[in-house]
Structure 1
């Protein structure tokens, strides 16, 4: 099973830069997209609806900013939108495709513009609720892969300039500790780091210049039983489709031919 995750920061701009031309050639089973920047009903061009995939969208409340999507080669049994967090669901943060015994999610965490304290409080509240959600679902008889822009650089190795970014949202101690709790107490894992421990692997450049001030905030987080099934991981940087780069992960797992 191959899953590609990409935070587009405008799917229209990414498409114009060749994202869909590239991604349909990658033989992915699932494509998770975040921060579409446009409502689904405004996507008129066939490029956004590759015939090889069944696409599902969850638009943000304003219809233009934080929408997420998931493209499935095989039909899922069900699609879930939102997380049941009353204060966050209408932000278009999460969509999930359920198959027989595995669920794949596309996540966009709340952002904190200009280190705004109120926005940081909102982000922290979201992650506390999300932690409780992940604690509950780990007891279900299914596996989980949650892909997307988590808005957190887990460790200093995930920051190109950790010193300059000290105290910036996404690299705060409480945020990194939250992720540590998720991994050590709930036994989830950062799939990419299970197969790649290099120090120069970044997926986001806030200034839009690869090679400058890089962060790794785009993850595929897997539940415990999937840890030994992670085979390959890469961040695709040959072409630039936006400020983020696609994350490609291969798993020793085969989705069913059809859910029906």
Structure 2
């Protein structure tokens, strides 16, 4: 089973830059996007063989998530916990027979950290939500989580310490998740590999020189460890300031 996650930074612009070519080539069973930046009716994606689920932000041209899936889920939730909606469209949960898929676009703390407190509250709420789901069945948690967890996950870690996305507070929230029954799948396969990034500034030559951050993740319940086949980034795929990431699982081992 193949899953893909990609912050497309505007799905309409990404489609003009080749999104559908990659989508068809990768042939994922589940394809998650973040930062769709559309409202209902603003785009009609002809994705044959896929069910489409969109969570739109109330604010136009902002945020938003979507999941395209070959297998119809048992249930879909727009929000966290008992909430039926979330005004920025940042979370979609799809329940399948063997697992929950949680697609997330985590709020940015902003350059001046004015949204850090709100961000940390989001993290606390989401952590409890993931644990609640995990108590029922395994979880696959993915998306643009807006944090570089370790020094190895950012090119210039020394000069970025304390900056949005690399504060002690944000990084510690990720550590908490990974210390409570969850696995960062890319680091499971590549614990010490440097230079694996998923986001680059649009500044000239930054992406070419691979001056990036790894802020997009596939995180899974520990009991899915035996089902993991590979977890990779696709930095050569253009169309956004982020690149897609892919997780492959052995579907037959999801229940083992």
TM-score by structure 2 length? 0.91
Contact 1:58 1:69 in 2 (8 A): yes
Please state how far the C-alpha of 1:103 moved relative to its aligned partner.
1.3
Q: Deviation at 1:254?
A: 5.0
Alignment of 1:107 onto 2:108: no
Aligned to 1:11: 11
Residue 203 in structure 1 maps to residue 198 in structure 2: yes
* C-alpha distance in structure 2 between counterparts of 1:135 and 1:77, whole Å: 20
CA distance in structure 2 between the partners assigned to 1:179 and 1:107 by the alignment: 14
Aligned counterparts of 2:58 and 2:225: Cα–Cα separation in 1: 35
Residues 173-223 of structure 1: per-residue CA shift (max 9 Å, x gap): 121111111111x11011111112311100001335313430000001101
- Stretches of structure 1 that go unaligned for 5 or more consecutive residues are none
Partner residue in 2 for 1:233: 231
Between Structure 1 and Structure 2, how many residues are aligned? 249
- Whether the 8 Å CA contact 2:78–2:93 is kept in 1: the answer is yes
Contact 1:38 1:65 in 2 (8 A): yes
Counterparts of 2:169 and 2:82, CA distance in 1: 21
- For residues 136 and 105 of structure 1, the distance between their equivalents in structure 2, rounded to whole angstroms, comes to 12
Distance of aligned partners of 1:5 and 1:15 in 2 relative to their CA distance in 1, 3 Å threshold = same
Name the CA distance, whole Å, in 2 between partners of 1:40 and 1:21.
23
How much has 1:50 moved relative to structure 2? 0.8
2:126 counterpart residue number? 130
| Distance in 1 between residues matched to 2:23 and 2:12, nearest whole Å | 14
Aligned to 1:21: 21
1:178 matched to which residue of 2?
173
Is contact 1:207–1:213 with CA below 8 Å preserved after alignment? no
Residues 1:96 and 2:90 aligned together: no
The root-mean-square deviation of aligned C-alpha atoms, in Å, is 1.9
How big is the shift at 1:94?
A: 0.4
Q: Which SS does the other structure have where 2:126 is aligned?
A: helix
> Is the CA contact (8 Å cut-off) linking 1:67 and 1:93 kept in structure 2?
yes
Equivalent in the alignment of 2:185: 191
Residues 70-90 of structure 1, C-alpha deviation per residue, up to 9 Å, x if partnerless?
Answer: 00011111111111487x821
Q: Which moved more, 1:130-139 or 1:14-23?
A: 130-139
